């Protein structure tokens, strides 16, 4: 893995998160989605990735971990977090004045063990 700004600044957790978001964006592009926005922020929080899948806008939360000692990465997104993502999606839509055909909340879990390749798990359409 190449050295990035977060690693140079001594924040390995942030570097891991950035690595996961880059991998997730590449994964979504490989699946045919187009990335519209990354790390969009407002007063209520942040959306990791916004993508388009045909007529559907996909708001994606990315969770990256080095092990499953505390559970799989996707397990970090509970119902409360999914509901928060829906509120953030509404704020993104309002700011960008977009009227999509459909909206979807996805979660991508990245398991990046110390050795071997990363494992990507994509949950499509999560939330309340």
CB 33 within 8 A of CB 26: no
pLDDT in tens, 17-73: 899 999 999 999 999 999 999 999 999 899 999 999 999 999 999 999 988 888 888
Buried b (16+ CB within 10 A) or exposed e, 32-47: ebebeebebeeeeeeb
39 vs 18: CA distance, rounded Å: 10
Residues facing residue 87 across a β-bridge:
none
Structural domain boundaries of the chain?
Answer: 5-123
CB 104 within 8 A of CB 58: yes
CB 120 within 8 A of CB 114: no
Output the pTM of the full model.
Answer: 0.85
Tell me the CATH number for domain 5-123.
3.40.1350.10
pLDDT in tens, 44-57: 899 999 999 999 99
């Amino acid at each position: 893995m190449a050295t990035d700004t977060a690693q140079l600044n001594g924040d390995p957790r942030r570097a891991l998160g950035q690595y996961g978001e880059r991998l997730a964006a590449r994964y979504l592009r490989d699946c045919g989605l187009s990335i519209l926005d990354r790390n969009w922020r407002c007063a209520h929080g942040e959306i990791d990735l916004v993508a388009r899948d045909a007529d559907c806008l996909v708001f994606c939360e990315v969770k990256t971990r080095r092990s499953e000692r505390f559970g799989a990465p996707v397990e970090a997104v509970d119902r409360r977090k999914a509901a928060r993502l829906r509120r953030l999606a509404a704020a993104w839509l309002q700011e960008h004045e977009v009227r999509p055909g459909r909206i979807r909340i996805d979660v991508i879990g990245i398991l990046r063990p110390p050795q071997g390749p990363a494992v990507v798990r994509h949950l499509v359409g999560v939330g309340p």
